[in-house]
Amino acid sequence: MSESSTDARREDEGTAVEAGTLATQRFSESGKLHGMDVSQERVSAIAGEAIQAINDVAVKHSVTYDEYNALKAWLIKVGTDGEWPLFLDVWLEHTIEEINSVERPGAIGTIEGPYYVPNAPEMATPATLEMREDEEGTPLKFTGSFKDTSGQPIKDAVVEIWHADAMGFYSQYAPELPKWLFRGVVLADEDGNFEINTMRPAPYQIPTDGACGQLIAAAGWHAWRPAHIHIKVYAPGFQLVTQQLYFPGDPHNEDDIASAVKPELMLEPKPRTDGGEGEEAVYNYVLAREGETA
């Protein structure tokens, strides 16, 4: 898919305001706001130093009133476009994820991003994600296993998977896509093995027609993420890992706008050896038990 034909489809299908509004709404309903541990002491330290850091940047660059007012208008637009989840997940979540995963042994994580939807259809392995007839792209057979940190297979493990279509659209964040397109909750077998059949996703551009796109254009940056598959893996008694898998050779692995690529997260698809069409790739998971640290 060329960049210009993706843009053309974007114009009649996805808009930043629709995707942003849905992502904002879903975040509010996600349960992430229940039982939060946020102390007055830490609010004072973190908010105080963040405000000071912004003031320091203003001094360093002698920020003008035009620039200050452009900032004010832009922040207002981030809200009206519903793009706070997008903005934060693209430019800050990678740091938060990094800080909070240092003590967890096993599978490497990365950011969740704004387009996760809970309660996707459950499927036993071998599973095929929902897709349309004549779905564009290269079929991908994705298999793997679950082991604990001592090498024993894990029972009742789950792979939650979601990714964009060949045009870079996520179901439930763009009109006219089947509700659960490329989303599923796949149960591994008794030995901890799974097989998921899907399509290899294409490189992905974050919405360009909202506040985040306006910032990117005004700064002369680009809006691309490498092709990626979002994953959550978990099993009873084990720590959940949220991650994404990428493909070697993608031109945006080196300049992901969301800074979420790590070398441990590369899939290595090869032509299928079982006579099926497309490619196959393997990724094996080691999960840490609850409370287990490195």
109 touches Fe ion by CB under 5 A: no
| Residue 23 binds to ligand MBD (criterion: CB under 6 A) | no
Of the listed pieces 4-12, 83-91, 119-127, 283-291, which binds ligand MBD according to CB under 6 A? 83-91
Nearer of residues 113 and 269 to Fe ion, judged by Cβ: 113
Confirm or reject binding of residue 184 to ligand MBD (CB under 6 A).
no
Which pair of tokens denotes residue 139? 């079929």
We find the least distance from the C-beta atom of residue 258 to Fe ion, in angstroms, to be: 8
Which residue of 81, 89, 250, 280 would you call a contact of ligand MBD, by CB under 6 A?
89
How many residues bind ligand MBD, per CB under 6 A? 12
In the complex, the smallest distance separating the C-beta of residue 181 from ligand MBD, rounded to whole angstroms, is 14
Residues 205-234 that bind ligand MBD (CB under 6 A): 206, 225
Q: Among 33-41, 101-109, 112-120, 215-223, which window interacts with Fe ion (CB under 5 A)?
A: 112-120
SS3 string, the chain, reads: CCHHHHHHHHHHCCCHHHHHHHHHHHHHCCCCCCCCCCCHHHHHHHHHHHHHHHHHHHHHCCCCHHHHHHHHHHHHHHHHCCCHHHHHHHHCHHHHHHHHHCCCCCCCCCCCCCCCCCCCCEEECCEECCCCCCCCCCEEEEEEEEEECCCCECCCCEEEEECCCCCCCCCCCCCCCCCCCCEEEEECCCCCEEEEEEECCCCEECCCCCHHHHHHHHHCCCCEECCEEEEEEECCCECCEEEEEECCCCCCCCCCCCCCCCHHHECCCEECCCCCCCEEEECCEEECECCCCC
160 binds, among ligand MBD, Fe ion, none (CB under 5 to 8 A by kind): none
Measured CA to CA, the distance from residue 108 to residue 89 in angstroms comes to 18
| Residue of the chain from 113, 201, 207, 226 that contacts Fe ion (CB under 5 A) | 113
Find out whether 106 and 243 touch, Cβ atoms under 8 Å. no
**From the CB of 92, what's the least distance to ligand MBD, in Å?**
11
81 binds ligand MBD (CB under 6 A): no
Cα dihedral 246, 250, 256, 262, rounded to 10, equals 40
Among 20, 106, 109, 114, binds ligand MBD (CB under 6 A): 114
Q: What is the closest distance, in whole angstroms, from the C-beta atom of residue 204 to ligand MBD in the complex?
A: 5
- The C-alpha atoms of residue 116 and residue 184 are separated, in whole angstroms, by 11
111 binds, among ligand MBD, Fe ion, none (CB under 5 to 8 A by kind): ligand MBD
Instruction: State in angstroms the smallest separation of the CB of 163 from Fe ion.
Output: 7
Residue type, position 216, single letter: I
- Which listed option, Fe ion, ligand MBD, none, makes contact with residue 165 (CB within 5 to 8 Å by class)? none
Contacting range for ligand MBD; rule: CB under 6 A; set: 59-67, 82-90, 133-141, 195-203: 82-90
**Residues at the interface with ligand MBD (CB under 6 A):** 86, 89-90, 111, 113-115, 204, 206, 225, 258, 260
Residues that bind Fe ion (CB under 5 A): 113
